[in-house]
Amino acid sequence: MVPGYAGRLLHIDLTKNIVKKIRLKKSFIKEYIGGKGFGARLMYDMVPPRIDPLSPVNPLIFLTGPVTATGAPASARDVVVTKSPKTGTFLDSNSGGYWGCWLKIAGYDGLIITGRASKLSYIYINDGSVELRDASGYAGYGVYATTKGLIKEVGDNNAKVAAIGPAGENLVKLAGIVNDLHHVHARGGPGAVMGSKNLKAIVISADHRNPKFDLADRDGFNKYNLKIIREVVRGPPEEWARTDGTPIIVRWSNDVGVLPTRNFQVGVFEYVDNIDAEVMRSFRTSKGACYRCSIACRNLTRLKDDKWGEIELDGPEYETIAMGGSNTGVGDFKAIIAWNNLVDDLGMDTISLGNVTALAMEAYEKGYIDKNITNGLELGFGNIDAQMELARMIAYRKGIGDILAEGAREFVMWLGGDAYKMALETKGLEYPAYDPRGSVGMALAYATSDRGACHLRAWPIAEEAFGDMDPFTPEGKAELVINMQDLNAVKWSMIFCDFLDADYEMIANYFNYVTGLNYSADTMRLIGERINNLIRLFNVREGFSRKDDYIPYRIAHEKMPRGPNKGFSVKPEIFNKMLDDYYELRGWNRDGVPKKGKLRRLGLYKDFFKTNIHSM
């Protein structure tokens, strides 16, 4: 057994009601590390092309990595891997909190869940034992009541819960899986997959003083970890995270004109002063941390108010503030806290939800829809009451919410005509909160991200509008995006969170102390590239290619009307240049398919021939 791993995955088939333990092979660990890497390999081998993501055969896989629960900074992570019902692509969706650590402490590197329970159920993992239990009493419950109820039900105040809300039960494509009340595996609809399995929650009891895994070199690990905490975590690289956390980005984004405002119609928000980090501080009661994380980026906030009552929240983060604030025209931090609190309870992705809400608002203001269709809601920008009600309508699939529950792409199709010009998405995943018209690399990052438009695969704006590169030119952006994507593939496999400023060297050091293997930075880089290429093969097998690596109409053809990027749009010639460069540097052909030579170098050559698995 390799140190750093519990050494086994748990396979639970809910149709058969059978639990199997699968030993981790050393070769699997060596080639794919953990987390996202494990998920990429498992999905490629298990899932033939074109299955319905909401069918019982789609696996819902929770994975941890070698640093999970070790006390390394930013290591309290797990990832859920599945075929996305939102995009049809491979999906990995991360979350922090405690739940993922408890899974590993209980002795499992991951869970593979297949089939479908005959009634609403939850899984209870209590160290050695695994049970499928009735959850029909929780049908329709929000995440908060479910989490608290199940903790009481299992009789362990220290039990950790990953749950879905009504959105997941109703197969809403924006539904996430929520760890520990507020940590959401949000993007790509994993909550709908869990809902399709009639699985309301997974509850884990574990003794965190006796984790069921060991480290190869505990002393070495501790010494190195302390050094990183001193030099990196307590040093300048993490200062922003230690102090304000992600809300600081609101100001940065507005300053460079990329803060999505009123459905990306513009990149600066006139009420930015009402929603920035300074305002956040006035609601903050303390900083919070995930399990044993020394960064403690989180802001615990409290709101007490006649309109909203009393709310205690872990958040809001930048993406929530931007997508549910400036992007919907809401310049009121209290309202954003209330919306965040509601959306976590309903169990949805604040990014996609904020995006489709703003889209519906634009459609309303432009006359595509009216009050007859919105159940009377006056859905103009800035109407927070309508925004709250619309979140419920989406989670419960009421009226127009039933259409918005599918996403931006589907909503504009339903509207017909030229409504598609208002949709901000790639591969069916809604744009997050950086407008590429102020950093063209983001257009490439969104277009080539494995799971659709995502800022967590590559964040080139760090070097463009927030750094020293020209944000309006295509040169060098492909290389930047590729480097970030490959590094992140390794981070999401270890699993480190976004906020550890780690390079391959640091990652390799952590990996070596934990596992006793002796990996170089270059090996780590190769693994990152391997993971991204294997996922591309998965997506290619599902029929994705260059045609799916697109940018939305608005980004390409509507010039930013004001702000620092006034007059600019990511014209097709800029985008196509970046995409051509990207494919070439990746070793993919002009249609975006990995070439055989590249696959051979990555040890994936045999996988190419699996493309057509049915006739083999």
Site membership for a second copy, residue 373 (CB under 8 A): yes
Taking CB under 8 A as the rule, does residue 577 contact a second copy? no
Residue among 176 and 552 whose Cβ is closer to a second copy: 552
What the block records as the tokens of 152 is 């009481």
Q: Which of the residues 513 through 552 are near a second copy (CB under 8 A)?
A: 541-545, 547-548, 550-552
**Helix intervals (H) in 197-316:** 218-228, 239-243, 248-255, 277-283
Strand partners, 575: none
Nearer to a second copy, 315 or 428 (CB): 428
For position 87 contacting a second copy by CB under 8 A, the verdict is yes
Residue 413 binds a second copy (CB under 8 A): yes
Residue number, 229 or 373, with CB nearest to a second copy: 373
Given the rule CB under 8 A, which of 111-119, 282-290, 319-327, 529-537 is the region that contacts a second copy? 111-119
Residue 49 binds a second copy (CB under 8 A): yes
Question: Cβ–Cβ contacts within 10 Å for residue 239, how many?
Answer: 12
**What is the distance, to the nearest Å, from the Cα of residue 484 to the centroid of all Cα atoms in its chain?**
16
Interface residue with a second copy among 22, 46, 300, 462 (CB under 8 A) is 46
**CA–CA separation, 289 vs 342, rounded Å?**
22
Regarding 56 and contact with a second copy (CB under 8 A), the answer is yes
Tell me if 119 contacts a second copy by CB under 8 A: no
Q: Which residues contact 30 (CB under 8 A, 6 or more apart)?
A: 517
DSSP 3-state of 575: helix
The helix (run of H) or strand (run of E) holding residue 390 is helix 384-395
- Whole-number Å distance between alpha carbons of 461 and 565: 14
Stretch that binds a second copy, among 44-52, 231-239, 242-250, 282-290 (CB under 8 A): 44-52
- DSSP type of residue 230: I
**DSSP classification of residue 614:** G
Q: Which of 143, 323, 394, 400 binds a second copy (CB under 8 A)?
A: 400
| Nearest CB to a second copy, comparing residues 113 and 338 | 113
Question: CB-wise, 36 or 83, nearer to a second copy?
Answer: 83
Q: Is 243 in the site for a second copy (CB under 8 A)?
A: no
Q: Is 449 in the site for a second copy (CB under 8 A)?
A: no
User: What is the Cα–Cα distance from 48 to 45, expressed in whole angstroms?
Assistant: 8
Among 27, 209, 567, 616, binds a second copy (CB under 8 A): 616
Exposure on the CB side of residue 351, measured as CA atoms within 13 A: 23
**Under rule CB under 8 A, residue 28 binds a second copy:** no
85 binds a second copy (CB under 8 A): yes
Q: Which is nearer to a second copy, 85 or 267 (CB)?
A: 85
Query: Cα separation of 578 and 569, whole Å?
Result: 14
Q: Which stretch binds a second copy (CB under 8 A): 113-121, 134-142, 262-270, 309-317?
A: 113-121
User: Which one of 57, 132, 151, 300 is in contact with a second copy (CB under 8 A)?
Assistant: 57
- If one asks whether residue 416 binds a second copy (CB under 8 A), the answer comes out as yes
DSSP E strand boundaries for 52-114 = 60-63, 78-83, 90-95, 110-114
Distances (CA, A) of 146 to 12, 180, 201, 310: 22, 11, 8, 20
Instruction: Tell me the site size for a second copy, rule CB under 8 A.
Output: 61
Please, which of residues 152-211 interact with a second copy by CB under 8 A? 173
Three-state SS for 505-555 is HHHHHHHHHHHCCCCCHHHHHHHHHHHHHHHHHHHHHCCCCHHHCCCCHHH
Backbone φ and ψ for 138, nearest 5 degrees, come out as -100, 5
Q: Is 136 in the site for a second copy (CB under 8 A)?
A: no
Residue of the chain from 104, 160, 334, 409 that contacts a second copy (CB under 8 A): 409
R_g over Cα of the chain: 23
356: tokens are 């489709």
Rule CB under 8 A: is residue 467 a binding residue for a second copy? no
Amino acid found at 326: S
Rounded to 5 degrees, φ, ψ at 448 are -100, 0
Under rule CB under 8 A, residue 406 binds a second copy: yes
Nearer to a second copy, 410 or 435 (CB): 410
- Give the binding site for a second copy (CB under 8 A): 15-16, 46-52, 54-57, 85, 87-88, 114-116, 118, 173, 372-373, 398-400, 402-403, 406, 409-411, 413-414, 416, 420, 423, 425-428, 541-545, 547-548, 550-553, 556, 572, 575, 611-616
